[in-house]
Every structure is written in C-alpha cells, then in structure tokens.
Structure 1
C-alpha cells in the first residue's frame, strides 16, 4: 500500500510510543553528555587554583544551550 506524504499521516499508537521512547533516550543521552562535559571542564580547571571558586552551577549555566544562543 502506497502512502502519500502530504503531512496528513497520523502515526499509529505503536509508532507514537516508539517516537516517545526515542525522544526519552535522546534526552537521557544528552544529559549524560552534558554531565561528562561538565566533569571534564571541572577537571581541566582543577589545575588553576584561582578558578576553584567556580561551582558546578556556574559551569552548567555557562554550558546550557539557551545561554549559548543568547551569546550569539
């Protein structure tokens, strides 16, 4: 059966659940990558005692996509 791709296709419950599962998986993966990047940055600045006042919250705020877009 051929389907027309005019945007009117409604996903089935099974495909919608799969999309939701994929979306959750990608959010989880991004969270892991963000955590890993934060840890790496904190390890990199550990060599500089004057930067010890930098907290994890400041690092995460600096790395958030929203702040990156505002900086442009």
Structure 2
C-alpha cells in the first residue's frame, strides 16, 4: 500500500523523473535548512542575552581582582 497517492503514475518517465528530482531537492533543502537552524541555535544558546554576557564579565573580573588582591597581601 502506498503512503501517498502517486499522481505521477500516468505521466511519461521523463516528467515523472523530473517531479521526483524536484521532490528530492525540496526534501534535501529542508534538511539543510534545519541543520543550519540547529547550528545557529547552538551558537546562540551559549549567550542567550547580551546582558548576561556583561554580568558574567563583570563578575569574573571582580572575582579575579579579589583573587589577585588576596595573593598580594
């Protein structure tokens, strides 16, 4: 039993191959778009908010300053 109704069954072989190629390319582009979207989401998920970047920087520099100050004493 077919998963979908094959409308191209009554077409000539050249047209049928062309439609199959178009369907394959459409599927391939969808996969590539999804992969690109996931890659971008992974890159952006490290820093979801610019404010957090600033806060993390300030906290780490403050902690480093305290650590260096304690060593000097």
The alignment's TM-score, normalised by the length of structure 1, stands at 0.52
Match runs of 1:1-72 below 5 Å: 13-50=12-49
Cα RMSD (Å) of the superposition? 1.6
Larger Rg: 2
- How far apart, in 2, do the equivalents of 1:49 and 1:14 lie? 51
Q: Runs of 5+ in structure 2 lacking a partner?
A: 1-10, 51-73
Q: Which has the higher contact order (CA 8 A, sep 6+)?
A: 1
> How many residues in Structure 1 have an aligned counterpart in Structure 2?
40
Q: Runs of 5+ in structure 1 lacking a partner?
A: 1-11, 52-72
- How far apart, in 2, do the equivalents of 1:13 and 1:43 lie? 45
Per the TM alignment, residue 49 of structure 1 is displaced from its structure 2 partner at its CA by 2.5
Runs of 4+ in 1 over 6 A off after TM superposition: none
Greater Cα shift, 22-31 or 12-21: 12-21
| Structure 2 SS opposite 1:48 | coil
